[in-house]
Amino acid sequence: MSSKNTIKEVAKAAGVSIATVSRFLNNPAALRKENRIKVEKAVKELNYHPFIFARRLAGGRLNTFGLIIPGYEGIFYSFYAMEIIRGISAALNAKGIDLHLHIFGNKDNFRASLVDGVIFADIIENEKQFERLLKNRTPILVMNKKIERQNVSYVAINNFKGAYEATEFLIHHGHKKIAHLAGTLFVQCAQERLEGYKLALQKNGININNDYIKVTNFSRKEAREKLEQLFSLKERPTAVFCCSDEVASEVLSFCEEKKIEVPKKLSIIGFDDNPHCLYGNLMLTTVRQPFREMTQLAVEILRELVEAKTDHKKIVLDTELIVRDTVSFI
């Protein structure tokens, strides 16, 4: 028979609903054995999507992992996004597994039937799609976000510790007027970096000045607006801890324009260890994220989940403070 049969015809031949066929195509194990046998028989007889599903019916796998990236503005200029795509691609290639990249906009349209498992590069504004795949028992791993539910694996970064150590490093260099250019605070990593910054101040007997905390969206444009506000204050900060190296780069540009000498008049610490921020007269002091280790672990754990070789794992990786040229004693 023709391979152009529709899901409606498969449902009719199997004597089940279209929804049941859909669930089967996404995750056969989610169906009762009786319905699974009916749908398997109909799919075989109608030759429905033979390339993708014949392997599943034969008990095999697709040898493809999905990577879902939040589709925020400027994603293709994002160091984080590019490092995740690069790292996951390399780790999958080393294991002979194909990559199915999906950039999430605002529609829950990812087809789990095309992959063996899914890596979420965070689930920013993507909870609905995440919950659907979880409900369908698709093997899932989340990066860059800690999810404490028992049945979800993740590999995250210790953003809190990284921010705490960066802020304390500034304090140990004599700084008390330390500003923080924070990321968007509905993002877990930005929340944790802000919390780490605050606790470092409190532990060292420094009052938190809310005028020194400015929320950006991790962009240079937002950073510029907040820098204008910071440097219009009567008591200007002597140091700035930034939510990202991209934001820190804007601080360096701002200082160059305003003739503010770095690090003598303003010390700066970024977050990421973006190599694009290493050039010029000053090398940026920053917090390095272990992107390579995070992506390799993500692929390995998901592979084990797909093969049912492991229980769910929750891993938090430490950051590293990289000391360069942009911090000085006062």
Average pLDDT, the chain: 90
Label residue 172 by pLDDT band (50, 70, 90).
very high
For 21, residues 6+ apart whose C-beta sits below 8 A from its C-beta are 7, 10, 11, 14, 39, 42
The structure's pTM equals: 0.82
Give me the domains of the chain, ranges plus CATH numbers.
7-57 (no CATH), 64-158+291-318 (3.40.50.2300), 159-289 (3.40.50.2300)
CA 115 – CA 300 distance, rounded (Å)? 16
| Rg of the chain taking only CA atoms, in angstroms | 24
Nearest to 320 by CA among 293, 297, 295, 290: 290
Label residue 279 by pLDDT band (50, 70, 90).
low
State yes or no: cis peptide before 263, omega within 30 of 0.
yes
Which residues, listed in sequence order, are joined to residue 120 by a DSSP beta bridge? 68, 142
One-character DSSP codes across 121-188: E--TT-HHHHHHHHHTT--EEEESS---STT-EEEEE-HHHHHHHHHHHHHHTT---EEEEE--TTSH
CA 330 – CA 328 distance, rounded (Å)? 7
- The one-letter code for the residue type at 216 is T
Query: Among residues of the chain, what percentage have pLDDT more than 70?
Result: 93
Q: Is the pLDDT of residue 167 over 60?
A: yes
Q: What is the pLDDT of residue 72?
A: 73
Q: What is the pLDDT of residue 259?
A: 96
Give the up-direction half-sphere exposure of residue 208: CA atoms within 13 A in the CB hemisphere: 15
Q: What is the pLDDT of residue 231?
A: 96
Tokens describing residue 207: 């009052």
Ramachandran assignment for 198, one of left (phi > 0), alpha (psi -120 to 50 degrees), beta (any other): alpha
Q: Tens of pLDDT along 76-131?
A: 778 889 999 999 999 999 999 999 999 988 888 898 888 999 999 999 889 999 99
Q: What is the pLDDT of residue 2?
A: 43
Q: What is the pLDDT of residue 224?
A: 96
Buried-state track 296-327, b at ≥16 Cβ within 10 A, e below 16: bbbbbbbbbbbeeeeebebeeeebebeebebb
CA 21 – CA 87 distance, rounded (Å)? 35
- The one-letter code for the residue type at 11 is A
